[in-house]
Each structure stands twice: as C-alpha cells, then as structure tokens.
A and B are shown apart, each in its own frame.
Chain A
Amino acid sequence: MLKKIIYLFLFFSVGTPLFASAEDGAKLIEYWYIVLPFVVLLLMIATGPLFYHHFWERHYPKVAIALGSVTVLFYLIVLHDTHSLVHTLAEYLSFIALLSSLFVASGGILIKVDRKATPALNVLILLFGSVISNVIGTTGASMLLIRPFIKINKDRIKPYHIVFFIFSVSNIGGALTPIGDPPLFLGFLRGVEFFWVIQHVWYIWAPTLLVVLGIFFVIDSLNKLGSNSESEYTGKIQFKGLKNIWFLAIIIISVFLDPGVVSWIPSLSPMPFGIREIIMFSVVYFSYKKADQEALRGNEFDFEPIREVAYLFAGLFATMIPALQLIAYEANIFGDELDAGLFFWATGSLSAFLDNAPTYLNFLSAEMGKFAMDVNDKSEVLLFEIEHPIYLQAISVAAVFFGAMSYIGNAPNFMVKSISERAGIQMPSFFGFMIKYSIPILLPIFILVWWIFFYGNG
C-alpha cells in the first residue's frame, strides 16, 4: 500500500518516474523505497522555512547532503551504477555554474533611479525586467531591479508592488529561453534546442504577461499614497559596477560552449564538467573580486542565497536520480491516459510548491516515457520536441508560470521577499501571499492559458 501511495505521489507530484530510462525504472521497482530521500527532501524544503525555520536555517546543508548521500551510496553499493551518478554530477555542475555566475555578476551592478514612480513607469520596469530575465535569468533580473523598483516607489510602496514583481520578473518573464528559468536550462542540458522555447512559448508568454501587468496597472492606479509627497527627484538614473555587464555577456556566450552544440569545443570527458563550467566558475571568482565595492554594499551582497541553492540542489539532484527513472517507467505504463492538459496541471500544481526545476525534469521524463523515449538520450529529446511539441510546451509553460504561485515555487521569490523585508516592507505570510494574491489573480489566468492552449490537446 505504502509503495502504491509513493508511486502515486511521485507520478502526480513529481511528474512520475524516478528513473530516466524505463529500463532502469524496471530494475528499480523492487527498490521503490529509494525514492523516499527525494520525497523527504522536497517536503522539508517546502515546510522547513515555514514551520521549523530555526532548525532549517541551521541544518539544511546537513539534511540535503545526508539525504543525497543515501541515494549515492545506494547506487554505488547496491546497483553498482556509477554512470547515473557521474551524469547527474555533470548536470549539477552546469546548473550551479550558471546560477552562481549570474547571481554574483548581477549582484555587483547597482542601479540608482531618482524618479517619481507612476503606474505607467512601474509597468515599464516590470516589462523590462520580464524581458531581460530571459537574458540574465530571473535570478539576475530580480537582483538587479528589485532595489531600484522599491526605491522609486518608496513614498507609496505596498506589498502588492513586490508581489507583482515576483509574478512577472521573477517568474513568468523568464519563460522564453533556457537562461530564463532553471527548469528550462535543465531541459537545454538534456537536449532541448536553445531557441525552441522562444519559438513555441512566446505567444503564450506575451498575452499572459500583458494580462498580469494590466491588472497591476489598474491596482497601482488606485494607489494614491505619496501623491502629496514633497520629495524632490532629479530624474537621474545612475549605474555602478557596469563592468560586470561584460561578465554577464561572457556567461551568456559560454552557455553555448557545449561540445554537443559547437563541434570545435573540446570535451573534457571523463571530467564531469566542461569548458563552459570552467568559464562560469571563473566569472564567479573574478566578478566578485573585481566588483565595485559600493555596488556590493548598496546591494547588501551576501553569498547565503546562492549557498542555499547550491546545497539544496546538490541534495535534489542526487535524490531525484531514482525518481526520474521510475517516473519514466510508470509513464510507459500509464502513458495513454495522459494528455498535454494533464501534464500542464500536474507540472504546474507541483511547481507551485516544490522546486520547479526537478519537477520539470520529472515530467519531461514522464512525457518521454509515454512515447517510449529516454530523457537521458539527447537525440531522443530532440526527436520528442519535434514530434510532440505540445507536451514540451505544456510543461515548459507550467513549470515557469506556476513558480509564481507561492514563495517556495522558484528560488528568486524568497530572495525578493528577503530583500524587500530588509528594506522595511512587511510582506504577506506564505498563505497570505497565496490567498490574497496568487490564487485570485494568477490562477484564473492560468486556467485561461490551459483552456486556450492545452485543453483537449495531445
């Protein structure tokens, strides 16, 4: 019974299979309990910051590493499978190299805007942030813009300003490229073409974002706070640490430096990293060492947010190996019953509360399992995006969009909340965020997205 419950949980909450290939999944069936570390870690990530934050803040690195070690030891000792581990380590290094380099490089740039906020200017900033989040990631764009956004609204700021920033810049905006949001980057690492996302998602992204920003404009127009403010504004926009733009450019170029994408790039195999990762980690070091001290101070730069992501994702990447393989296996069996709409809701509902990156990967594995394809084989991923684009579209959109549904849906959400609270803004609680904002505003929009683009498809 417990076994069935866990499968059901994994199938509908994680995407379904635990193993990347159905063959591996079949082998794992008798060891179904090895998915427990993954389930425990996801539940702790969701509940730790809310219900036992003192313990969680102090011990999350140990929890993540301990749970990850259980899975690693199982693969080494019981399955004698080092291939899956090395493959996962390489993927983790690519992932953390991109996130940490974007985080550090953008953290060294300070934008100072001395202008009076208006609803139209706010919408423009959110739109700009949403677009550039596809170039420097939702993390980078959030880090860069949240402080100037708060600053120009300082006489009239309310929690909804931050909430809509999280909706647009930190989440929905980044749905167009693999750099935009971690789930899409994981898809890119697995073989989804870089420009496939923008080609297949822009016409869902644009109307969704416009509706969200339209609602923001109406609410912001009703906010009369600060209209009698005597503050004087020079209208100036100043930048500090602009040299870090070059580091951002290096990161973006290096994303393509993959032997699988550019043939002349040497592979460093059997090392679990390549030229790309070396460049990105070098950017972390040099962009921090060479950063403008005033910009770092103005941004109250701290490594803790990226340290947290590094530890938690080390645990997640390790523990989800069996989850991916089992999901593929289960999807092979139940595939006929699953359409694109179901994948949209399954990916979305889990991305709202669990981290959207592993959720995306699990559902990609499930979708491919439905068509007897293996998510670990890049050529099969390429074939899948050509033959069944609606499925990939559904999970790409859902994983990114639904990350905005709660504080824990996407890494930048908590970072933006934390920066806002450091600026003295009292943010809504976890449930307050959902009840007052994401459920009444975003959920109806996402239902429309499903109805227009995915209902009855696949």
Chain B
Amino acid sequence: MRTIDEVLKSKINGMHYGNRLLLPFCAEILKVSIEDDLIMDFSTEQDDAEYNINDEFTEIYFHKYKSLEEVVTKYEVIKMIVVDSKNDLFNFDDHRKISIDILPNHIAEIKEIEDDQIFID
C-alpha cells in the first residue's frame, strides 16, 4: 500500500472514469472542493459524494456529476484534505492538502496544493 508521500514524490497518477475518482493511496477524506461544492458530509444522508477505502486505493464517487472531465475545466482542480490511513487522523500536522487535475485519457494528476491555490483546513 502506497502512502500519500510516496505518491506525491514519485508523481504517481490516479484515475478517473465518469464520476469515479481513484486515488493510488489509502486515506481518510475530510474535505473536498469540486466546482462550486464544498463537501464534508460523506454520510449516506447526503447524495453528493461517497468514498471507500480499499486495500490499495481510495475511490470517490461524485454522484452529482456524470463526468469529472466535463465538470473540472482546464484551469480548475479538485482540492482535498486527506489523512494517510497509517497516520493519526486527529493530528492536524498529518492533514495533507492535495489538488487533482483531471486530464484526458482517465489520468488524474495528484499534486500538493500550490501556494496560489488557497484551501483552508
């Protein structure tokens, strides 16, 4: 199982298929910003999004959208606050801010949030 650090360091990409985003690490997801939506409620009460942590990857379904490629345009990204499954969820120092570019051919490029891209925990 890869860690977030390994993924960022080795520039390993995730994937997207329709409204499904696959991240090549196992992590708890605390906050997601996509388009005009700020999602923090991943419970079954809400139909905006849900995520599952599998053995080797984490998958997120954005139910509101049919295709991430149509929604996230050239200069936009999906922003997230995630915590590696191995780390302490309750330690704010372990909270990582990442951005995901939705590229053609199902590629989801994962990067640390850049200085210009503000995302408050």
Do A157 and B116 touch (CB < 8 A)?
A: no
Closest CB in chain B relative to A428 CB, distance in Å: 13
Do B75 and A301 touch (CB < 8 A)?
A: yes
Closest CB in chain A relative to B75 CB, distance in Å: 4
Question: Is B33 at the interface (CB under 8 A from chain A)?
Answer: yes
In this complex, the interface size class of chain B, counting residues with CB under 8 Å from chain A, is 20 to 34
Q: Which residues of B contact A294 (CB under 8 A)?
A: 116
Query: Are A424 and B116 also in contact (CB < 8 A) when A302-B75, A418-B36 are?
Result: no
Closest CB in chain A relative to B86 CB, distance in Å: 24
Query: Are A425 and B76 also in contact (CB < 8 A) when A54-B64, A418-B36 are?
Result: no
Do A424 and B64 touch (CB < 8 A)?
A: no
Binary CB contact string for chain A from 21 to 38 against chain B (1 if under 8 A, 0 otherwise)? 000000000000000000
Do B33 and A424 touch (CB < 8 A)?
A: yes
Tell me what chain B mostly uses at the interface: helix, strand, loop, or mixed: loop
Do B76 and A302 touch (CB < 8 A)?
A: yes
Give Cα A297–Cα B115 distance, bound, in whole angstroms: 11
Do B75 and A299 touch (CB < 8 A)?
A: yes
Query: Are A147 and B118 also in contact (CB < 8 A) when A296-B75, A300-B77, A424-B79 are?
Result: yes
Residue of A nearest to B97 (CB): A424
Question: Is A136 at the interface (CB under 8 A from chain B)?
Answer: no
Do A422 and B38 touch (CB < 8 A)?
A: yes
Query: Are A302 and B121 also in contact (CB < 8 A) when A54-B64, A422-B79, A424-B31 are?
Result: no
Question: Is B17 at the interface (CB under 8 A from chain A)?
Answer: no
Q: Which residues of B contact A147 (CB under 8 A)?
A: 118
Task: Choose from B33, B37, B64, B117 the contact partner of A298 (Cβ within 8 Å).
Answer: B117
Query: Which of A110, A150, A296, A421 is the most central at the interface, judged by chain B CB atoms within 10 Å of its CB?
Result: A421
Give Cα A350–Cα B92 distance, bound, in whole angstroms: 45
Residue of B nearest to A49 (CB): B36
Q: Which residues of A contact B76 (CB under 8 A)?
A: 300, 302
Task: Choose from A110, A112, A302, A424 the contact partner of B73 (Cβ within 8 Å).
Answer: A302
Residue of B nearest to A426 (CB): B38
Give Cα A301–Cα B64 distance, bound, in whole angstroms: 21
Do B75 and A297 touch (CB < 8 A)?
A: yes
Among residues 28 to 65 in chain B, which have CB atoms less than 8 Å away from a CB atom of chain A?
31, 33, 36-38, 40, 64
Do B36 and A424 touch (CB < 8 A)?
A: no
Interface residue ranges, A against B (CB under 8 Å): 54, 110, 112, 147, 150-151, 154, 157, 294, 296-304, 418, 421-426
The 7 closest A-B CB pairs, nearest first, are A298-B116, A424-B120, A421-B38, A423-B118, A301-B75, A418-B36, A424-B119
